[in-house]
Structure 1
Amino acid sequence: MKLKSALLVSAAAVASPGMVFGLGIRIPDQDAFASSRGNAFVATADNPSAIYYNPAGISQLEDQNVRAGFYGIYLKDKYSGPTGSFDTKDKFQAVPQIYYSAHLKDTPLTLGLGVYSPYGLGLEWPDNTSFRTLATRGDLTYFSINPVLSWKVCDSFSIAAGPTINYGNVDLRRGFLPFPGNEFRFRGDDVTPGFTAGAMWKPIEELSFGASYRSQTTMGFHGTSSTAGGEPFVPSFTQPAGAEFKFPQNVVVGLSYRPTPDWNLEFDADWTDWNRLQTVNLQQQFSGTLPLVFNWASSWFYEFGATRYFGEGWRVSGGYIFSENSVPTATFSPAIPDSDRHVFSIGVGKTYSKFSWDASYQFAYGPTRTVTGSAPSFPFGQSADGKYEYISHALLVSLGYHF
């Protein structure tokens, strides 16, 4: 009887769209200099982080170059509704990246290798929220190893492509009863391939165009689902489980204008195909397969950046991003409290004969999003309806060496 109760509770714990994936979000910030420009970098791409932003850009680099850094972020979501107000728990998260490029002497070819995290981060709500049976916590780790080959077709045009080997690990949690002290949890991981490509055209000295593409991937997260904290009526129970999550394809196009050697202005349009994420099936060995509806929409980043170059290798940059919301109200979940967001950044850097560094600060906020009519959890009817606000502070540091 207790085993049957555990199976029924396990099924009920995932019977609403809020659980299967905690944070289906991109991390577009992969270099301090690029991020200081609002990530408007696809048509500039003049350091080894081009491997992420536009791999064709490494054709501009001579000899060998290495660049490493980290993206550290503090983020907070706030909820207010008829049953009270809640904030996500304070959490500082850091994501590393490293890039290497090598021009093959006396050839038009340049090799590159990047290791970075294009998706991820985490979010945790207090255990006593009025929507705990929708979501309490989600953590995603996603790393890509990305070798590329760039070919300088002529002095003004380069193309590049390369495979990605992607590792993902997910840990998702929610309550299965509407009061604190119980938890349903799904954990799984997977490895899957993909690819990237890019092109850069510089018809005149003052103008360059860039484009990059990142392929879609499908992570078949395999692991376990479990219930805990329901004793004595519902025993702890663990079973094999898996969920196939479709990560989007991504296209970026941009234009860089250099009115003088001292200035670089750029605008990029960055499209992410979140429309791939419609229904995810959580397959549990004993509790069966449950369809979970997301119905996300594709969305855009609009990125603006400017850099002023000074003497002795100094530079100062600023940028702005407008990020469109991807999550519709009908399938809104506190685990993915997406909204339209405004992102501002500023940074400084310096290049020496062999060594370079950049540091940037980024501030983002999401104006209040009011959610009404979201899907309730089954069978307890807890809803995500209410008002949500987002704010984050991020610091990026990158160090480079030319040899």
Structure 2
Amino acid sequence: MNVAAPDDGSSALITNPAGVASDAKNQALIAIQPGSLTVDYSNTSTGYNGRGSTPYAALDVWYGLGERWGWSMGVGAYGAVGAAFDLPSEPAINHDGYLGKLAQINFAVNVGKEVHPGIRVGLQLAPSYVSQKTKSPSPLGEVSFDADGFGFSYAAGVVYEPIENWSFGLMYRSKGKAELEGDGKVGSARQDVSVDFVTPQYLATGLAWWLSKDFRLMANLRWTDYEDFEEGEFESKQFPALNGPLMSKTHNRTRWGIAFEYRILPRSWLRAGYTQGRAMIDDSAVRPNMFDNDNKMLMLGYEIEYSDLMVGFTFGLATQDVRKVSANENPNFSGRYESADTVFNAGARVTWRLR
């Protein structure tokens, strides 16, 4: 999926809404990528050493509506469920463990049009459902909550083909905000909570170049305003001392990637790509149920066409750098943070022509 080459339902949903003004408007698609998130955290000052693993699934669903009143249209949903920072308790040191679990499903309505030969534009309206569940030890006892609610964001994009075989893309996704309500506990006491959950805005650009009718090179660059996360707020009705931002001291980051696709047979494609990015949470603000790592990922894909049906498979290998945080940097949550040395995942998708 490339900002400058959004040619299918997944691309129109996630990468650039201008992709709806392509074959995607006449296609339906379903894609799933199951996996497992494994995290490790150890702290020599407390004696805690835990490792947890949870299964998750990322899902894309798209249905092209064809053209209405001169505009290409489509609807879909995308997101991930199940992923969690789930670290076990250690009774020997009277430690209850950590949990940070998040699920988000975005529902999308895309409209787009070729407004001039070689120029496609698109808009996406994306209401969302968000569920968040956490637990962490504190001087007041274990603090936990489970909350869910609905939010909204939008995206806009353009694809420009100035000359034959070249295309450029630009896409903007707005900051999203979901208002969550739920309950939880502080020690043995019940608490009612509300959460303003904020997702960051970002700007992405890319280019694609057909070197021949069978071989295309692509590149992406995305800047994300991760400081938007700091606008998220937690409020406990019974324990106002716990009120405050969900995240602090985040850093805006740029992520880049390169890829190619090659038609190895008349009806089959081979695709490969590489991407990397830096951790966005400062060492002073990480905690065991919310951290990230510098990471790199290599991807490989294969898709074959059978009449009006296309079946594709993707494989990815990710490496996560270990974070070592000193007590001087983070007095409460120093230690070693790791998201498995290597993570291998695989996915599949099916696309079929509707008209």
1:184-333 pair list within 5 angstroms = 184-227=143-186, 236-278=188-230, 280-289=232-241, 290-292=243-245, 294-333=248-287
| TM superposition shift of 1:295 | 1.6
- How big is each residue's C-alpha offset from its partner over 1:296-320, in whole Å with a ceiling of 9 and x where there is no partner? 1111221111111122311111111
Is structure 2 residue 58 aligned with structure 1 residue 75? no
Residues 58, 81 of structure 2: 8 Å contact kept: no
Structure with the greater relative contact order (CA < 8 A, sep ≥ 6): 1 or 2?
A: 1
Give the secondary structure class of the aligned counterpart of 2:211.
coil
Cα gap change, 1:203 to 1:281, in 2 (>3 Å):
closer
Question: What is the CA–CA distance in structure 2 between the aligned matches of 1:239 and 1:161, rounded to whole Å?
Answer: 40
Matched, 1:388 2:338: yes
Asked if 1:350 is matched to 2:298, the reply is no
2:1 aligned with 1:46, yes or no?
no
Assess if the C-alpha contact under 8 Å between 1:271 and 1:300 holds in 2. Answer: yes
Take 2:74 and 2:165, find their aligned partners in 1: how far apart are those partners?
26
8 Å CA contact retained: 1:108, 1:152: no
Amino acid at match of 1:384: S
What fraction of aligned residue pairs are identical, expressed as a percent? 18
Query: Could you tell me which of 330, 354, 364 is aligned with 2:318?
Result: 364
Alpha carbons 1:270, 1:301 under 8 Å: kept: yes
- Please tell me the residue identity of whatever aligns with 1:94: A
Q: CA deviation at 1:245?
A: 2.4
Supply the RMSD in Å over aligned alpha carbons. Answer: 2.5
Post-superposition offset of 1:132 = 5.5
More strand by share: 2
Q: 1:263 is aligned with what amino acid?
A: F
Contact kept? 2:56, 2:82, Cα under 8 Å: no
Partner of residue 348, structure 2: 397
CA distance in 2 between partners of 1:140 and 1:48 (Å): 25
1:78 aligned partner, one-letter code: D
Rounded Cα–Cα distance in structure 2 between residues aligned with 1:317 and 1:87: 37
More moved, 253-262 vs 48-57: 48-57
Preserved contact between residue 80 and residue 103 of structure 2 (Cα < 8 Å): no
The one-letter code of the counterpart of 2:89 is D
Q: 5 Å matches for 1:157-168?
A: 157-168=119-130
TM-score (norm 1): 0.80
Question: Which amino acid is the alignment partner of residue 388 of structure 1?
Answer: E
Give the partner amino acid of 1:96. L
Amino acid across the alignment from 1:99: W
Contact 2:37 2:84 in 1 (8 A): no
* TM-score, L = length of structure 2: 0.90
The aligned runs of 1:26-45 (5 Å cut-off) are 34=1, 41-45=2-6
Q: Which runs of 4+ in 1 moved over 4 A?
A: 129-133
Unaligned regions of 5+ residues in structure 1, if any? 1-33, 35-40, 229-235, 378-382
Please report how far the alpha carbon of residue 185 of structure 1 lies from its aligned counterpart in structure 2 after TM superposition: 1.1
CA contact (8 A) 1:64 1:101 kept: yes
Per-residue Cα deviation, 1:52-74 (whole angstroms, up to 9, x for no partner): 21111221217621000112122
In the alignment, structure 2 segments of 5+ residues that lack a partner are none
Name the structure 2 match of 1:15: none
| 1:89 maps to 2:41 | no
Question: Which amino acid is 1:100 matched to?
Answer: Y
Correspondences of 1:59-138 after superposition (within 5 Å):
59-61=21-23, 64-82=26-44, 86-104=49-67, 108-117=70-79, 121-128=83-90, 136-138=98-100
2:194/2:236 contact within 8 Å kept: yes
Alignment partners' CA distance in 1, 2:317 and 2:39: 14
Alpha-carbon contact 1:51-1:112 (below 8 Å) kept:
no
